[in-house]
């Protein structure tokens, strides 16, 4: 295998529980890995040296860095366009709906009656709030306070999927409850969304109502904690280096 001439840049802290493992495995395969401060924009001189840019967080700074990388022809693991589509909550719901997922009703203003979820316009705003003030409003779905968190990685040969069940942060702190068997049709929908947005990894949250599952959030830069997908992430990053 030909090893990239420049380092792989990973935008997250050095001690990240998943990507520190990924970095060690990449180094074991002969790649140079450089961690980049996710809170600081990466300069042009650094960008030009990278063989690939991997972004782990969604902030205005990381999005600007992704855009700068694409303008300069630096390969990115997840595309800047795809990440931008996902960090906007409205465009993310449109993207989810476009591949066949049911999504919550969105209101242009605070609903006069009924329970709702108030959200910031972008991922980097405040966390969702039940019946609070927000920038966009979604109808509260009648469901148990449990999220089905799908993590899908394109490892260069196949799409690897893991589903975790977790308590909803709307009603308290997040707690992983265990694993669930991924539904093949949902994995296929996420795969189609990844192909449209030129993403090599994606996280999508679903909730279950009496009538169906609804896609309520999409994360273009998930942590992959407790998924066991480190091997798939390594293979995915290697396949993206050119």
Predicted confidence pLDDT, tens digits, the chain (242 residues): 555 679 999 999 999 999 999 999 999 999 999 999 988 989 999 999 999 999 998 999 999 999 999 999 999 999 999 999 999 999 999 999 999 999 999 998 999 899 999 999 999 989 999 999 999 999 999 999 999 999 999 999 999 999 999 999 888 888 999 999 999 999 999 999 999 999 999 999 999 999 899 999 999 999 999 999 999 999 999 999 96
Calpha distance 50→75 (Å, rounded): 8
CATH number at residue 119: 3.30.470.20
Tell me the three state secondary structure of residue 165: strand
Whole domain around residue 99: which residue ranges?
A: 86-219
* Same structural domain, 190 and 104: yes
List the 201-208 sheet strands across, edge first: 176-180, 159-167, 146-154, 201-208, 213-219
Q: Do 196 and 105 reside in the same domain of the chain?
A: yes
* Distance of alpha carbon 40 from alpha carbon 71, whole angstroms: 18
> Domain for residue 214, yes or no?
yes
The one-character DSSP state at 2 is P
Tokens of 150: 């799908």
Same domain, 70 and 36: yes
**What is the pTM assigned to this prediction?**
0.94
Specify whether 54 is located in the same domain as 12.
yes
Same-domain pairing of 24 and 108: no
> Looking at the 3D structure of the chain, how many domains does it have?
2
């Amino acid at each position: 295998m030909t090893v990239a001439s420049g380092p792989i840049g990973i935008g997250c802290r050095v001690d990240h529980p998943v990507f520190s493992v990924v970095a060690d495995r990449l180094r074991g395969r002969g790649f140079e890995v450089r961690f980049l401060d996710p809170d600081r924009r990466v300069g042009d001189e650094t960008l030009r040296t990278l063989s690939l840019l991997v972004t782990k967080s969604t902030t205005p700074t990381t999005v600007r860095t992704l855009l700068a990388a694409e303008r300069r022809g630096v390969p990115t693991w997840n595309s800047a366009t795809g990440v931008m589509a996902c960090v906007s909550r409205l465009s993310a719901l449109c993207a989810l709906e476009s591949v066949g997922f049911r999504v919550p009703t969105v209101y242009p203003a605070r609903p006069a009656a009924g329970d709702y979820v108030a959200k910031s316009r972008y991922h980097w705003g405040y966390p969702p709030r039940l019946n609070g003030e927000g920038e966009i409003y979604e109808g509260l779905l009648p469901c148990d306070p449990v999220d089905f968190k799908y993590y899908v990685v394109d490892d260069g040969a196949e799409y690897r999927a893991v589903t975790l069940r977790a308590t909803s942060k709307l009603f308290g702190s997040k707690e992983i409850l265990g694993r669930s068997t991924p539904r093949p049709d949902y994995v296929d929908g996420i795969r189609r969304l990844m192909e449209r947005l030129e993403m090599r990894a994606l996280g999508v949250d679903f909730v279950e109502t009496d009538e169906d599952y609804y896609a309520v959030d999409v994360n273009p830069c998930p942590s992959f904690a407790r998924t066991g997908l480190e091997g798939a992430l390594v293979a995915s990053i290697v396949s993206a280096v050119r």
